């Protein structure tokens, strides 16, 4: 009996120990489960925050992209309106593109709320001199401080301002040339109103006008052929005079070896204009012939040979002392002199 009680007491302690172990295991397992739940909730929350952030970011980007597209559309539409501005029955975009095919167009709104479209471009280097010579009247006023042969760059900037009551929507508000000379100094020269378009139009029409003047008829001969037979390097230049007259000017010279024969074949010319010269002492004989545009529309439409008539002409004489003298030759005299000389050779 005593032994059985001892065994039960021992076993009772063992049972208590065993119960304690199970109780401890339950205590340690419960906190582990809580930690797992907390971690799980944290990662779920983080994932939701990331998803929300991505959605907000995408939404913002879509908003910005939409705003940019709307701004680009407004810019495009306003630039197109400005491009359609009419100058002398021509769209300014066509006129500008004929001068520079890489025109930069920009649109902006000033602090005062004015809508401005700006076009910038340049006259190609090889055309600068011809461009300026085609606008003699304007150049003499604005470029008088420059030797046009020394201008290395000629850029332009034109600003169109929107007027809601204007049929053209946009009109020229401000324009200027930017000149860069041999010293790389850049000088802006403001050009009032649409003068730049007038300059461009004059230059673009210069080649056409020169061709028309070259076809002027003199005694059943064509002016350019007569001149080319005398001087194959004759220079042709187009400009508009102070009075608005369109003028094509041809300059050249009589070859030095032919000067004496040329003058001797024109006795009337010598008796009238060269009587004070020793013909054998003349070392240079240059000529200048101006063809003026015939403003009679009926005549010019009837024949391309009647678009121009001969206006002012002159010889420039240089003697052995290098003294130069200008001698005015009236009307068609110079072409007549050339014809006489060519006939004498034939």
**258 closest CA partner among 231, 276, 233:** 231
pLDDT at 206 over 80: yes
DSSP state of 52: H
Question: Helices 223-230 and 195-214: crossing angle, nearest 10°?
Answer: 80
pLDDT at 22 over 50: no
Tokens encoding 168: 């053209």
Q: What is the pLDDT of residues 291-327, one digit of tens each?
A: 998 876 555 555 555 689 898 999 999 988 888 889 8
At residue 144, the 3 state secondary structure works out as: coil
Average pLDDT of span 203-207? 88
- pTM of the entire predicted model: 0.61
Window from 30-44, 219-233, 261-275 with minimum mean pLDDT: 30-44
What distance lies between CA 70 and its chain's CA centroid?
28
For the sheet with 170-180, list strands across it. Answer: 104-109, 115-123, 153-162, 170-180, 186-191
């Amino acid at each position: 009996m005593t032994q059985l009680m001892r065994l039960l007491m021992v076993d009772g302690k063992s049972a208590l120990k065993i119960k304690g172990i199970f109780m401890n295991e339950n205590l340690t397992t419960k906190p582990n489960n809580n930690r797992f739940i907390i971690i799980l909730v944290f990662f779920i929350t983080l994932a939701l925050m990331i998803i929300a952030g991505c959605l907000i970011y995408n939404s913002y980007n879509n908003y910005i992209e939409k705003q940019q597209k709307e701004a680009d559309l407004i810019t495009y539409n306003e630039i197109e309106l400005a491009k359609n501005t009419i100058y002398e029955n021509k769209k300014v975009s066509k006129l500008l593109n004929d001068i520079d095919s890489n025109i930069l167009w920009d649109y902006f709104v000033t602090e005062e709320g004015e809508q401005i479209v700006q076009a910038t471009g340049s006259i190609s280097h090889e055309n600068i001199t011809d461009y300026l010579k085609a606008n003699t009247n304007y150049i003499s006023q604005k470029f008088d401080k420059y030797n046009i042969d020394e201008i290395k760059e000629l850029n332009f900037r034109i600003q169109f301002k929107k007027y809601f009551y204007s049929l053209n929507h946009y009109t020229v508000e401000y324009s200027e040339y930017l000149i860069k000379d041999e010293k790389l100094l850049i000088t802006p020269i403001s050009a009032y109103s649409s003068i730049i378009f007038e300059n461009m139009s004059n230059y673009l029409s210069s080649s056409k006008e020169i061709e028309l003047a070259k076809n002027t008829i003199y005694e059943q001969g064509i002016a350019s052929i007569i001149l080319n037979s005398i001087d194959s390097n004759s220079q042709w230049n187009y400009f508009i005079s102070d009075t608005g007259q369109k003028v094509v000017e041809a300059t050249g010279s009589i070859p030095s070896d032919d000067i004496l024969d040329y003058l001797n074949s024109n006795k009337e010319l010598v008796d009238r204009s060269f009587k004070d010269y020793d013909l054998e002492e003349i070392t240079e004989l240059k000529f200048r012939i101006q063809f003026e545009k015939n403003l009679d529309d009926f005549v010019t439409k009837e024949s391309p040979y009647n678009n121009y008539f001969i206006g002012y002409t002159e010889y420039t004489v240089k003697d052995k002392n290098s003294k130069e003298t200008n001698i005015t030759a009236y009307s068609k005299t110079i072409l007549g002199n050339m014809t006489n000389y060519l006939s004498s050779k034939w």
